[in-house]
Copies of this chain bind each other. A is one copy, B any other.
Amino acid sequence: MTKEKSSMKYTKKTAFEAADAFGIGAPNDTYAQYFIGQSFLKPLTEPEKAPVFLANVTFEPRCRNNWHIHHATKGGGQILICTAGEGWYQEEGKPAVSLKAGTVITIPAEVKHWHGAKKDSWFSHIAVECPGENCSNEWCEPVSDAEYEKLENAE
């Protein structure tokens, strides 16, 4: 497959909205303090009706969440189902993983990590909140521009 064909990048919001079948939803104001750039949130299940919460999370180009940890004493963590565009997932101390529609990432509890869009593309993933015991999220420092730019160079 050529480089062109394997790319799923979207620089324009309108074209990206057509590619993201699960919908972009509303500005993610509740968690905005833990993100650099604009993100959007679209819940896909109703908490009182489904035992697993799913939401489609959309990141504008360059948008990423802070380093964070999903704590749990049993189970927990998150699964990312990438639905449109291209992004990054990185665990502390490991190389970043390139994401595109079709990529599925299992994030274990207690692992410090971040995720977000590439510099030149909108990106969406469905976040699956894995049930567990004593679950909580710890939000840490932002992913600095210097860290983020390095990833783009290493792609």
Contacts of A33 in B (CB 8 A): none
Choice from B101, B102, B128 contacting A52 with Cβ under 8 Å: B128
- Which one of A54, A76, A100, A104 has the highest number of Cβ atoms from chain B below 10 Å of its Cβ? A104
User: Looking across the interface, which residue of chain B has its beta carbon closest to that of A131?
Assistant: B131
Q: A106-B45, A106-B46, A131-B131 are in contact. Are A51 and B22 (CB under 8 A)?
A: no
Partner of A51, one of B44, B46, B77, B126: B77
Write out the residue numbers on chain B whose beta carbons fall within 8 Å of the beta carbon of A23: 102
A45 cross-chain contacts in B, Cβ below 8 A: 79, 104, 106
The residue in A50, A106, A130 that gathers the most chain B C-beta atoms within 10 A of its C-beta is A50
